[in-house]
């Protein structure tokens, strides 16, 4: 285990103890507070409310988008990671990598180690960072329970939305192939974006993250493909749920309901996600009869913990999933 990984485990362990200590805190919040978090960015990008066209209809998208520098607001610029075959006249998928609480962009890039797989797929990647608190460091204001622990209420939905729009305008990326991959609090923020900005996203992959404790706070307007990945022995965000987080399977079931899936879950296959557990330790379940662009999968990493590094085939498996290269057949009985 590297020093970086050890520090990340320590940070997450402290966070877990802190969450447990303040487990009743969400009950002290008023409905007004929850509504303010859910609707903190309702006025953001009003031009995207036009139902007659896609969200990017008012963004100038040139045939050649040759900007190759960072984007974002001054002081928190985000540098692009281009694939080897990047073409300024192309239309590349765009993947956001979101860090966990107390981690940062560089640790997340190194942990997922997705550059080779992104090169093969021609995917542009961005790894932005949230705000910094006085407790453990960087965080995303993702859900009603995590991780704005000092009640600072930064508008991270608005921040990430701005990055998406600027990336589409300046980089040669496809506005209909926007993906989010996040670990822990970053997985929660990925779910938050799917809840609040469903029209922007093709899919999210949440790795040991979660969603709102209160399901009524998630109201996606359009289907989003969901790949919810969770370890059974997660010591920070419990697989079985807690006072702060719903059970992992329930998170996937909610999305199956949002996406109007008719049947499931069905067992799909077993794959090797991590070298921390021997063999093909991860079981994939899926739902059938979902609306178009509404696929839902639930990946259970058996006998693994919150940060099961080093990862094995996860980057390749992830891209196979989001690009539809692996499609399960409905079982017959």
The predicted-structure confidence for 247-281, as pLDDT tens digits, reads as follows 999 999 999 999 999 999 999 999 999 999 999 99
Q: Which two tokens stand for residue 152?
A: 């600072």
- Structural domain includes residue 318: yes
Residue 103 lies in a domain: yes
User: Do residues 301 and 231 touch, judged by C-beta distance below 8 A?
Assistant: yes
Residue 195 CA, chain-centre distance (Å), reads 11
- 40, part of any domain: no
Whether 170 maps to a domain, the answer reads: yes
Percent of the residues in the chain that have a pLDDT greater than 90, as a whole number: 81
> Is residue 73 a part of any domain in this protein?
no
Domain with residue 271: its CATH number is: 3.40.50.1820
Length in residues, the chain: 333
pLDDT in tens, 61-103: 999 999 999 999 999 999 999 999 999 999 999 999 999 999 9
Note down the domain range covering 174.
Answer: 78-85+93-322
Report yes or no on 232 lying in a domain: yes
Total structural domains in the chain? 1
Answer yes or no: is 69 within a domain: no
Is 155 contained in some domain? Answer: yes
């Amino acid at each position: 285990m590297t020093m970086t990984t050890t520090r990340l485990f320590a940070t997450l362990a402290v966070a877990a103890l802190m969450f447990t200590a303040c487990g009743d805190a969400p009950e002290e919040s008023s409905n007004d507070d929850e509504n303010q978090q859910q609707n903190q960015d309702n006025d953001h990008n009003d031009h995207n409310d036009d139902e007659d066209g896609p969200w990017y209809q008012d963004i100038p998208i040139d045939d050649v988008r040759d900007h190759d520098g960072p984007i974002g607001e001054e002081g928190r610029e985000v540098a692009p990671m281009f694939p080897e075959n990047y073409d300024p006249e192309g239309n590349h998928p765009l993947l956001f990598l979101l860090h966990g609480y107390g981690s940062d962009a560089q640790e997340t890039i190194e942990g997922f180690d997705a550059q080779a797989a992104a090169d093969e797929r021609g995917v542009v990647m961005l790894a932005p960072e949230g705000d910094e608190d006085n407790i453990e460091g960087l965080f995303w204001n993702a859900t009603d329970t995590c991780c704005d622990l000092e009640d600072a209420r930064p508008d991270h939905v608005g921040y990430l939305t701005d990055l998406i729009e600027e990336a589409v305008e300046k980089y040669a990326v496809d506005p209909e192939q926007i993906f989010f991959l996040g670990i822990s609090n970053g997985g929660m923020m990925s779910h938050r974006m799917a809840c609040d900005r469903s029209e922007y996203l093709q899919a999210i992959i949440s790795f040991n993250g979660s969603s709102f404790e209160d399901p009524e706070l998630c109201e996606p307007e359009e289907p989003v493909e969901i790949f919810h990945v969770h370890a059974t022995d997660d010591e920070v965000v419990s697989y079985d749920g807690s006072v702060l987080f719903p059970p992992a399977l329930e998170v996937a079931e909610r999305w199956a309901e949002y996406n109007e899936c008719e049947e499931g879950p069905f067992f799909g296959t077993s794959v090797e996600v991590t070298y921390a557990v021997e063999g093909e330790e991860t079981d994939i379940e899926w739902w059938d009869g979902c609306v178009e662009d509404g696929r839902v999968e639930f990946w259970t990493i058996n006998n693994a913990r919150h940060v099961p590094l080093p990862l094995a085939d996860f980057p390749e498996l992830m891209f196979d999933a989001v690009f539809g290269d692996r499609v399960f057949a409905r079982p017959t009985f």
